[in-house]
Amino acid sequence: MFLNIAFQNLWRNKRRTLFTELAIVFGVVVVIFTGAFLKGMFRFWAQDVFISATTGAFQIEHQKYRAESTLDPLGTTLTNGAELIASVERMPGVQAAYGELRIVGIVSNGSRSDVFDGRGVDRDGQGRVLPGSDDLIRAGRSLRDDPNEVVLGQLLADKLGVAVGDQVAIVVRTLQGGIDLMYGKVVGVKSGSHFPSATYLEMNLSRAQKFLRMPNRVSQILVKTREFDRSVEYAETAAAKLKDAGQPVIVRNYTELIPMYVTVGSVFKLIATTISLILFVIIGLGIANAMFVAIRERRKEIGTLLAIGMEPFQTRRLFLLEGVLIGLLGAVIGLVLAVGLAHAISAHGGLRFDGPDSAIITVLPRIDWSITGLALGLSFVISIVASWFPAAASAKLNPVEALTEA
Q: Is residue 58 part of a domain?
A: no
Q: Is residue 177 part of a domain?
A: yes
Are 83 and 151 contained in the same domain? yes
The strand ranges marked E within 135-176 are: 137-140, 149-153, 167-173
Are 69 and 141 contained in the same domain? yes
Are 325 and 212 contained in the same domain? no
Are 40 and 70 contained in the same domain? no
Report the pLDDT value the prediction gives residue 355, as an integer from 0 to 100.
60
Are 384 and 320 contained in the same domain? yes
Establish how many alpha carbons lie within 13 A of residue 210's alpha carbon, considering only the half-sphere containing its beta carbon. 8
Number of domains in the chain: 2
Please give the single-letter amino acid code of residue 242: L
Residue 136 carries which DSSP code? Answer: G
Where among 247, 275, 309 does a domain terminate? 247
Report the pLDDT value the prediction gives residue 404, as an integer from 0 to 100.
62
User: Tens of pLDDT along the chain (406 residues)?
Assistant: 555 665 565 556 677 777 777 877 888 888 888 888 888 888 888 888 788 888 899 999 998 888 776 667 777 889 888 999 999 999 999 999 999 999 999 999 988 999 999 999 999 999 999 998 888 899 999 999 899 999 999 999 999 999 999 999 999 998 888 899 999 999 999 987 667 788 999 999 999 999 999 999 999 999 999 998 899 999 999 999 999 988 889 999 998 888 777 787 788 778 877 877 777 777 777 766 766 666 666 666 666 666 666 666 666 677 677 777 777 888 888 889 988 988 888 888 877 777 655 567 778 888 888 888 877 877 777 777 766 666 666 556 665 555 565 4
Report the pLDDT value the prediction gives residue 406, as an integer from 0 to 100.
43
Angular region, 309: left φ>0, alpha ψ -120 to 50, beta rest? left
Report the pLDDT value the prediction gives residue 107, as an integer from 0 to 100.
95
User: Pick from 85, 316, 323: which is nearest to 220 by CA?
Assistant: 85
Are 99 and 229 contained in the same domain? yes
Q: Is residue 56 part of a domain?
A: no
Q: Is residue 256 part of a domain?
A: no
Q: Is residue 54 part of a domain?
A: no
Are 145 and 76 contained in the same domain? yes
Are 228 and 83 contained in the same domain? yes
CA dist list (Å): 111 to 138, 162, 167, 168, 169: 24, 11, 12, 10, 11
**Interior CA angle at 193 toward 190 and 194, to 5°?**
95
Are 119 and 198 contained in the same domain? yes
Give Dmax over CA atoms of the chain in angstroms: 106
Are 277 and 329 contained in the same domain? yes
Are 278 and 359 contained in the same domain? yes
Question: Residue 321: which domain range?
Answer: 2-49+262-403
Cα–Cα distance for residue pair 112/120, rounded to 1 Å: 23
Where among 214, 247, 280 does a domain terminate? 247
Are 87 and 205 contained in the same domain? yes
Q: Is residue 254 part of a domain?
A: no
For the segment 151-201, what is each residue's pLDDT rounded down to a tens digit? 999 999 999 999 999 999 999 998 888 899 999 999 999 987 667 788 999
Where among 213, 247, 281 does a domain terminate? 247
Q: Is residue 92 part of a domain?
A: yes
Cα–Cα distance for residue pair 133/174, rounded to 1 Å: 28
